[in-house]
Structure 1
Amino acid sequence: MNRARPSQPWLYRKLTPDGRQSLHRRLLSFLLVPLMLMLLVESLVTYSGALIYSNHVHDSDLADNVGTLAEMLSKQDMNDQISEQARFLLEYDPQGHNYFNVSSQKHGLLAGTETLLPPADMTLTVDSEPRLYNLVIDRHTVRAATVRIPSSHDPGDQLTLTIGETLHDRHERAKEILLLSIPAQAMLIAGVFALVWYGVRIGLRVLDPLTERLAAREHDLAPIGDIDVPVEILPLTRTIDGLFARLRGTLALQDRFIADAAHQLRTPLAGLRVHVERAQGDPSPATVRDALEHIQRLTHRASRTSTQLLALTRAQSPEHETHPLDLIDLNRLIPDLLSLRVHEALAAGVDLGYDSANEPVWIDGDRTTLQELLDNLLDNCLRYAGRRSIVTVAVSLSNGRPSLSIEDNGPGVPPEFLARLGERFFRVPGSCEEGTGLGLAIVQRIAERHRAQVLFLRGNEGGLRVEVVFPPARTARRNS
C-alpha cells in the first residue's frame, strides 16, 4: 500500500528516479522561480525606462517640428493659406499617425484637424517656447506641441500652430529597445543559474566527509561533534547527537538490567538446582518435602527480584521523562492506595495508620509510579519493622512544599548507613530478613522523576523515617 506524500507545488516536488526528494534539485527549483521573476521585473523596468527615453526623444522632435513650421510660415505671405511645401511637411505620414492644426485668431481654422486645439486654460504668448500636452482624438491618445507666432500677412493677427502624433511610434521604439535587451538579460540569468547550479553541486560536497565518517561507524554511538560540520547542518547533527545520547542511555540501561538480573538471579537459581538434585538423590518424602519448601522460597525470591528489577528499569527509562504529569491531590490518593495494603499489614502483625492534612496537597505526578513508590516504602516497613510494630503514613504541606512520609518504630538503621539507603543492592549489614536491596533505590528513582527529594532519617521512636518532599504543583499555580 503506497503512503501518501505531503502535498507540495509541482515545481518544488523534485524527485530522484527512485522517488526520493533531491536536495540539489529542490534548491535549484527554489532559485529558478526568483530568477524568472527577476527577469520579468527587469523586463518591465527596461520597458519603462525605454518608454521614458522614447517619450523624451519624440517630445524633442515634436517641439523641433512645430518650431520649424513656425519659422517656415513666418517667412512667407500666407494670405490665409499655407504653402504647398508646408502642407506636404505636415500631411506626410505613411501610417496616418500625425495630426496638425493651423489657426488664425481672426479667421479661425486655416488647415488641419479642427479638434487639435490647446486646452482652454493653457496660456500662449508670441515667440514663446513650444508647449506640450496630451489629448484624445478618435479614441487615440495624441501628444501635441503648440506655438503662437505673429501673422506675416496681417500684423494684427496671430497664428496658432499645433502638431500632434499618436503614441504608437513611442511604444514601438520602447519595444525595440526591450527586444534588444531581453537576449542579454536572458543570457545573464542563464549564466547566474549555471553558476548557482555549479555552486550548489560543489557546495553540497562539504557533506561528503561527514557522510564518510558516519558510514565508517558500525556500533559507535559517540557524538558526531561540530568538527567539519557546516553551520546550516549543525541543528541536524545536534539532533542526531541527542538521539545517540538517548540510545546510549537505553543500551546502558539494558546492559545494567542484564548484569543486575544475572547477579541477583544467580544465587536463587543455583539454590534451585541444588535442591532439585538433592530431591533426585534422596526421594524420601521428608527430603522431597524439605527440598520443595526451599524451592518455593527461592522461587518467590527470584520472582520478587525480577519484579523489582523491572520496576527499577521502568523508573530509569527515558520514556518516563517525557510522560506528562497530572495534577494529583496526595491527601486523596494516599488513603486509597493504603486501603489496598491493609490486609497485608494485618497478616504481618503491623499497626498501619494514616495522618491526613487539613487541606488538599497538590503535586504534579504520575499515579502509577506514585503507587509503586508507596508500595516499596510499605514493603520495606512490613519486612524490617517486625511484628507488633507501628507504621504511620502522613501527608503534609509545610512552607508550600508537599510532603509524603512513612515512619516505623522498628529497630531502625544505624546513622552511618542512612546515606546509603537509596543505593542499588545495598542492604544494611546484619539484617536477617531476605531482600534485594532495590526497594529504596526504586523509591529514589521515582522521586527523581517527580523532581522530589528523598530524606532517610531516624524516627522519633528509634525506627526509620523516610520523607519524600515534592516541589509545589505548577498546574495548581496556573489554575489559582
Structure 2
Amino acid sequence: MNRPRMRPLRPSLRRRLLLALLVPVGVLLLLDALLTYGVALTYANRVHDRDLSNDALTLATMLGNDRFDGELTPQARFLLEYDPGGHSYFTVSSARHGLLASNGQLPQPAQVPAIGARPTLYDAQLAKHALRAATVHIAMRSDPGDSLVVTVAETLHDRHQQAREILLLASVTQTLLIAGVLSLVWFGVGRGLHVLDPLTARLAARTDELTPIDGSDVPLEIRPLTQTIDALFGRLRGMLILHDRFIADAAHQLRTPLTGLSLHVEHAMANPQPEIVADALLHIQRLVRRAARTSAQLLALTRAQAPSLETGERTLLDLARFIPEAVSERVHEAIRAGVDLGYEGGGQALFVLGDAASLHDLLDNLIDNAVRYAGRGSTVTVRLAARADGGASLSVEDNGPGVPAELLPRLSERFFRAASNNEEGSGLGLAIVQRIAERHHADVVYRPGESRGLCVEVRFPAPPAILDRPA
C-alpha cells in the first residue's frame, strides 16, 4: 500500500527567525547554568573555608585553655567526635606528647603554620574521599612549654550540595525570565513582520502595472528584494516595449507589400488574360519575398534589442576563421546579383568575446546592405584587421553610389533609407548591425569608401585578458 508522500515544509521567515533566536538562547542558557554553578561552588567554598577555619581556631583555643595532662578531656573528645553527617575528620597532636586524638590518618600540610598564625587551608585525600582541611598551631596556656596542632577536615559533599541548591534556585528564575523573553520575541517577530503588510497590499492591488514597488515604507532589510523585483519589472517593461515595437514595425513594414499583393490579385482577377496573370504573379512573388525578408529582419532586430545575455554564455571566437567561412556562404548569392564579393584579411588569429549567431547576423546584414545598394556590376570587399589596442576591425566596403556625408549619422536609425533606386530595402539592416555591435561593446563607424561607395566598420574591443585562448 502506497503511503501519501509528505509535502515538504515551505520556507518560513518567522520559523527561521525563531530558530535563529532559540538555538543561541538555549546554548546561552546552558553556558549560564555552568557559570552559575561555578560561581555558586566558589561562593560555597569561601563560606565553608571560613567556617572550617573558625572551627579549627575555636577548637584549638578551647583545647589550649583547658588544663592538659597529656590526654584530652571527655568534653573535648565529644566535641571533636560529634558529627551528625559523618563528614568531618580531625587530628590533635602535641609537641610534647605527640598524637592525642584522631579519627583518620589525615595528611598534614607541607609546612605547619607558626604558633598564633592564621589557620592554613589545603586540599587532602583520605581513602576515596576528597577533603578540605584547616590546620592551626597554638601555644598551651596551661603548659607554656607545649603547643597543639589541630587539624579539622570535611568532605566536599555539603559544598556541592549548597552549589546545586543555588543553581536550582537560579535556574528556575532564569528559565522563567528566558521564557518571558522568548514570548516577547515571538510577539515582536509577529508584530515586526506586519511592516510588510503595506507592500503586500500594494502588490495585491496591482493588475498589469510594472512600476517600481520600492518606497519609503519598505524596511531597509527588504530593500534588496524590492530593488531586485524593480529590476525584473524594468526588464519586463523593456521586453513589453520591444513586443509593442515589433508589432508596430511589422504592421508598418508589411502594410505596403500586403497592399500590393491585394492590388495585383484584384488586377489579375479583373483581367484574366494569361500575360496579365503572369505579370501579376511575378509582382506577387517579388512582394512575398520582400515581406518574408522584412519579417526576418524584424525578428533579427527584436533579438538584437533584447536584454544582453550573460557574459558567461559567450565564447572566444577567432574572427580570422569565422569571417571567411561566413563570407563564403554569401558568394553564390552575390554572383546571382552580379556583385563581386571578396575577402581580405591576415593569417593571424583575432579573438573577440561574443555570440556566434549574433555576429553571423551582423555580417549577413552588412553584406546584404552592400550588395543591395551597390547594385549589379559593383564590388563588395570584406576586410578584417587587427587594431593597435588588441581589438579587431571588421569592415564591409562597396563601390556603389554611396551615401551623402550629412546622412551618414542616420544610417543606424530604424526604417531610414538614403535616396536610392532600390525600393526593396526595409531600412532595418544597419539598425540590426548597430544593436548587435552595442551588445558586443563594439563601435560602428560609417564613412565614404575609397572609390565612392560606403564603408561600414565595426571596431571590436580586445577580449578580457583573464580568459584563456582556445587551442
Q: TM-score range by the shorter chain?
A: over 0.9
**How far apart, CA to CA, are the structure 1 residues paired with 2:330 and 2:126?**
105
**How far apart, CA to CA, are the structure 2 residues paired with 1:475 and 1:303?**
42
1:140 to 129, 134, 139: 129
Aligned partner of 1:86 in structure 2 is: 76
The Cα shift of 1:312 comes to: 0.7
Asked if 1 retains the 8 angstrom alpha-carbon contact of 2:89 and 2:104, the reply is no
The Cα shift of 1:154 comes to: 5.0
Runs of 4+ in 1 over 6 A off after TM superposition: 1-4
User: 308-317 or 101-110, which moves further after superposition?
Assistant: 101-110
Aligned partner of 2:309 in structure 1 is: 320
The Cα shift of 1:355 comes to: 1.5
**How far apart, CA to CA, are the structure 1 residues paired with 2:77 and 2:311?**
95
Instruction: Tell me if 1:22 matches 2:12.
Output: yes
Q: Which runs of 5+ in 2 are unaligned?
A: none
**How far apart, CA to CA, are the structure 1 residues paired with 2:68 and 2:104?**
19
**Number of aligned positions between the proteins:** 466
Aligned partner of 2:341 in structure 1 is: 352
Aligned partner of 1:408 in structure 2 is: 398
Identity %: 56
Aligned partner of 2:262 in structure 1 is: 273
Instruction: Tell me if 1:469 matches 2:453.
Output: no
Aligned partner of 1:56 in structure 2 is: 46
Instruction: Tell me if 1:111 matches 2:107.
Output: no
Q: What amino acid sits opposite 1:444 in the alignment? A: Q
Asked if 1 retains the 8 angstrom alpha-carbon contact of 2:441 and 2:461, the reply is yes
**How far apart, CA to CA, are the structure 1 residues paired with 2:311 and 2:209?**
25
**How far apart, CA to CA, are the structure 2 residues paired with 1:255 and 1:306?**
15
Asked if 2 retains the 8 angstrom alpha-carbon contact of 1:98 and 1:163, the reply is yes
**How far apart, CA to CA, are the structure 2 residues paired with 1:105 and 1:417?**
126
Instruction: Tell me if 1:293 matches 2:282.
Output: yes
Aligned partner of 2:251 in structure 1 is: 262
- Report Cα offsets for 1:93-135 as digits up to 9, x if no partner: 122111000122343321113521323x324211111110001
SS at match of 1:354: strand
**How far apart, CA to CA, are the structure 1 residues paired with 2:132 and 2:198?**
68
**How far apart, CA to CA, are the structure 2 residues paired with 1:2 and 1:416?**
72
SS at match of 2:386: strand
Asked if 2 retains the 8 angstrom alpha-carbon contact of 1:54 and 1:174, the reply is yes
SS at match of 2:43: helix
1:206 to 160, 173, 195: 195
**How far apart, CA to CA, are the structure 1 residues paired with 2:355 and 2:7?**
37
2:85 to 95, 115, 119: 95
Asked if 2 retains the 8 angstrom alpha-carbon contact of 1:425 and 1:437, the reply is yes
User: 19-28 or 84-93, which moves further after superposition?
Assistant: 19-28
Q: Counterparts in 2 of 1:1-80, with a 5 A limit?
A: 19-80=9-70
Q: What amino acid sits opposite 1:298 in the alignment? A: L
Asked if 2 retains the 8 angstrom alpha-carbon contact of 1:66 and 1:145, the reply is yes
Q: What amino acid sits opposite 1:435 in the alignment? A: G
SS at match of 1:172: helix
- Report Cα offsets for 1:66-85 as digits up to 9, x if no partner: 11111111111232221222
The Cα shift of 1:202 comes to: 1.3
Instruction: Tell me if 1:451 matches 2:441.
Output: yes
Q: What amino acid sits opposite 1:229 in the alignment? A: V
SS at match of 2:313: coil
Q: Which runs of 5+ in 1 are unaligned?
A: 6-18
2:205 to 205, 209, 216: 216
C-alpha RMSD of matched pairs (Å): 2.0
Aligned partner of 1:177 in structure 2 is: 166
Asked if 2 retains the 8 angstrom alpha-carbon contact of 1:326 and 1:364, the reply is yes
Asked if 1 retains the 8 angstrom alpha-carbon contact of 2:372 and 2:422, the reply is no
Asked if 1 retains the 8 angstrom alpha-carbon contact of 2:64 and 2:148, the reply is no
SS at match of 2:456: strand
The Cα shift of 1:155 comes to: 4.2
Q: TM-score, normalised by structure 1?
A: 0.92
Asked if 2 retains the 8 angstrom alpha-carbon contact of 1:376 and 1:443, the reply is yes
Q: What amino acid sits opposite 1:183 in the alignment? A: V
Instruction: Tell me if 1:131 matches 2:134.
Output: no
SS at match of 2:130: strand
**How far apart, CA to CA, are the structure 1 residues paired with 2:236 and 2:452?**
45
**How far apart, CA to CA, are the structure 1 residues paired with 2:169 and 2:379?**
103
1:425 to 397, 415, 429: 415
SS at match of 1:463: strand
Q: What amino acid sits opposite 2:10 in the alignment? A: R
**How far apart, CA to CA, are the structure 1 residues paired with 2:98 and 2:273?**
151
- Report Cα offsets for 1:445-466 as digits up to 9, x if no partner: 1101110000110011011000
Asked if 1 retains the 8 angstrom alpha-carbon contact of 2:94 and 2:149, the reply is yes
